[in-house]
Chain A
Amino acid sequence: MTDVLFNPDYLIFVLTSATIFVILTMALNMIVGFIGYLNLGHVGFWSIGAYCYSVLLMNGTPFWLALIAGGLLAGFSGFLLGLPTLRLKSHYIAIASLGFTYIVYSLAINLTGITRGPLGIPGIPRPSFWGIDFEDKYLFFLLCAAIAVVSGFIMKRVLASPFGKILETIREDEIASQSIGKNTFSFKLKAFTVSAFFAGIAGGLWASLYQFISPYSFFIPELVFLLAALMIGGAGSFWGGVVGTYVLYIIYESVRFMPVPPTSVGALQQMAFALLLIIIMIFRPRGIMGKKAATFHRS
């Protein structure tokens, strides 16, 4: 038991996974926390980024180019999804964006020529550039951490800028925001695109970490996990997504060490984070780090 727990391979793998996931949560926070729209399409952007990156990388594209291309394709799909849906009200956006996740999932299963369908893409390599081979787990962790820090820095700057403040005015009172001459739709669309871009970047790193992706890697359980991470940390607070992700990873991984048969670990993990999501939404909708934002709080 304890030798598994203190196994550096296992620990560094989980830490890397969580660090990549932080990019995803921070990006989702821009939409859910700051604009106040429940975007359930984030898993779809993540999936698009991962597939684009994997296909390009395995056909000989350099790492950085493949990673950025994955982000750009995800960002573009975010733009395409945002265009018809961002004028709708919050719960319609939730349905439409859940539909988007479904469409991406169906495409990943059916476009067998690109994605190999349900078989998934195995053997995705870790990157190697500037004479450094990131096959090494510590170096790969450092690379992911560096990208996460840079992404986080960019998102923090964006959210702290006047642009980010306008996003918050949309959450608090969209009409007031429009009345001072802000084209809120255009701001929402830009934020959606940026958020999807970073989800795509996270997808690329994720594919290289797990070295295998399939349509089932990016679906409803992952979506619930993502929402739970954000809500536990606190949507609307920049650090909320970060804290929530690490807290949820610790809880998620500790289920593994409970005295239960290995076949039920997956179900128990899902039960743990879903129950946590319900409890936090009932008793502390603003999460651990959240400020008293109107979006999730009792009026």
Chain B
Amino acid sequence: MLEILPQIIWYSLLAGAIYALIAIGLTLIFGILGFINFAHGDMAMLGAYLFFALSIFLKIPYWASFIIVIPAAALIGIVIEKLTFKPVRKSPPVTPLVISIGVGAVIQAIVLLLFGAEVRSYRQEGDLMTQTYSFFDNSLVITQSQIFLMVVTALLLGGLHLFLKYSKQGKAIRAVADNQDVASILGINIDTTVSLIFALGTVLAAIGGLLIANEQNLNVTMGISLGVKAFAAIVLGGVGNLLGAVVGAMVIGFSENFIVGFTPVPANFKDGIVFFLLIIVLFVKPGGILGAKREEDVRGK
């Protein structure tokens, strides 16, 4: 049992890192617009497919494809926001939520039309990314792509923290999240800020998707599973709380990998476990494990 522990910890960290990237966009959007974007996981799927199209179909080098995905994802995020969510910004939160479910289904349908239903992969054997390193007598095997994943995630999360804390736009985002009316009186452009949030969230999700697709295969439904785990992460950490989203993502990454690694629960029951935990947490401690949000915000009055 013990000899697989380092590997399981490493897999948990990897899973947690990806869920954190996706969860941050979700929690930012929730913090400002007050609705849960069910299409967010599909942005991760879209990022992976964009990267696939660029690097495999168009044969653009890895690094260049990675860099092109960033503005493309930002643009897609802004266009979706302007077309679908902006017209209903003053509606009750159920309306954009239902719309986002539709947006997710449209994105899946488009990817299905363009790429077909077969499972794809952009791993190429012998590539730099598949080079492996072993530690502790082969009880921990790390690939180059996993190191890349961790480094990129750490840089993005650190950069986001600094951006939100010190830059003018970052402060504007926090101000709008805190109180939209006061922020707009103070001359902060709400529309620009919301677009910025969508661009930021979509880029983070798309990068998360393209990084995780190095480790597994691409398929059209991968976004659903990633998205729902990100929901679980933000609920666990307390919705609207950035640090909470990261902590929640790690809790989910660790719990699913430890349960699958050390109990007889089958691996494809992972998602089921995560949701079972989620429903229990909502029941026992609805404010999330960090408890930053007051209970009344979650439960009805």
Q: Which residues of A contact B (CB under 8 A)?
A: 36, 38, 81, 84-85, 87-92, 94-96, 98-100, 102-103, 105-107, 109-110, 174-175, 220-221, 223-224, 227-228, 231, 263-264, 266-268, 270-271, 273-275, 277-278, 281-282, 285, 294-299
Contact B109 A268 (CB under 8 A): yes
* A89 with B101, Cβ < 8 A, contacts A38-B94, A103-B272, A271-B106 known: no
Closest chain A CB from B221 CB (angstroms): 7
Closest chain B CB from A261 CB (angstroms): 10
Residues of chain A within 8 A (CB-CB) of B87 are 282
Closest chain A CB from B4 CB (angstroms): 22
A285 to B99, CA, bound (A): 10
* A98 with B228, Cβ < 8 A, contacts A85-B282, A92-B282 known: yes
Closest chain A CB from B97 CB (angstroms): 6
Closest chain A CB from B180 CB (angstroms): 15
Contact A274 B109 (CB under 8 A): yes
Contact A278 B84 (CB under 8 A): yes
* A267 with B109, Cβ < 8 A, contacts A89-B299, A96-B282, A228-B102 known: yes
Q: Is B22 an interface residue (CB 8 A)?
A: no
Closest residue of chain A to B91 (Cβ to Cβ) is A298
**8 additional contacts (CB under 8 A) given A84-B280, A102-B228, A296-B94:** A85-B283, A87-B300, A92-B282, A98-B38, A268-B113, A271-B105, A294-B92, A299-B92
Tell me the chain B residues, 99-130 only, with Cβ under 8 Å from chain A: 99, 101-106, 108-110, 112-113, 116
A271 to B106, CA, bound (A): 5
Contact A281 B102 (CB under 8 A): yes
Q: Is B173 an interface residue (CB 8 A)?
A: no
Stretch binding the partner chain, chosen from B143-151, B181-189, B203-211, B263-271: B263-271
Contact B36 A94 (CB under 8 A): yes
Contact A89 B298 (CB under 8 A): yes
Closest residue of chain A to B114 (Cβ to Cβ) is A267
Residue among A94, A99, A220, A223 with max Cβ neighbours from chain B (10 Å): A99
Tell me the chain B residues, 74-106 only, with Cβ under 8 Å from chain A: 84, 87-88, 90-95, 97-99, 101-106
The dominant DSSP class at the A interface is helix
Residues of chain A within 8 A (CB-CB) of B36 are 91, 94-95
Contact A106 B272 (CB under 8 A): yes
* A270 with B108, Cβ < 8 A, contacts A38-B97, A89-B300, A296-B91 known: yes
Contact B99 A281 (CB under 8 A): yes
Closest residue of chain A to B96 (Cβ to Cβ) is A281
Contact B98 A281 (CB under 8 A): yes
Q: Is B52 an interface residue (CB 8 A)?
A: no
Closest chain A CB from B119 CB (angstroms): 15
Q: Is B251 an interface residue (CB 8 A)?
A: no
Contact B105 A224 (CB under 8 A): yes
Q: Is B168 an interface residue (CB 8 A)?
A: no
Contact A278 B99 (CB under 8 A): yes
Closest chain B CB from A137 CB (angstroms): 30
Contact A99 B105 (CB under 8 A): no
Residues of chain B within 8 A (CB-CB) of A268 are 109, 113
3 interchain residue pairs of minimum CB distance: A99-B275, A106-B272, A274-B105
Q: Is B301 an interface residue (CB 8 A)?
A: yes
Closest chain A CB from B292 CB (angstroms): 15
A297 to B301, CA, bound (A): 22
Residues of chain B within 8 A (CB-CB) of A266 are 112
A223 to B102, CA, bound (A): 10
Contact A96 B103 (CB under 8 A): no
Residues of chain B within 8 A (CB-CB) of A109 are 268-269
Q: Is B279 an interface residue (CB 8 A)?
A: yes
Contact B101 A88 (CB under 8 A): no
Closest chain B CB from A39 CB (angstroms): 11
Contact B99 A282 (CB under 8 A): yes
* A99 with B109, Cβ < 8 A, contacts A174-B300, A224-B101, A227-B101 known: no
User: Can you report 13 residue pairs joining A to B where beta carbons are below 8 Å apart?
Assistant: A94-B36, A94-B97, A103-B272, A109-B269, A227-B98, A231-B98, A271-B110, A271-B113, A273-B105, A277-B98, A277-B99, A295-B94, A298-B90
Closest residue of chain A to B110 (Cβ to Cβ) is A271
* A84 with B300, Cβ < 8 A, contacts A90-B93, A267-B113, A275-B102 known: no
Residues of chain A within 8 A (CB-CB) of B198 are none
Closest chain B CB from A188 CB (angstroms): 10
Residues of chain B within 8 A (CB-CB) of A299 are 90-92
Closest chain B CB from A120 CB (angstroms): 16
A263 to B91, CA, bound (A): 38
A228 to B101, CA, bound (A): 10
Contact B92 A95 (CB under 8 A): no
B224, B231, B276, B299: the one contacting A95 at CB < 8 Å is B231
A90 to B94, CA, bound (A): 8
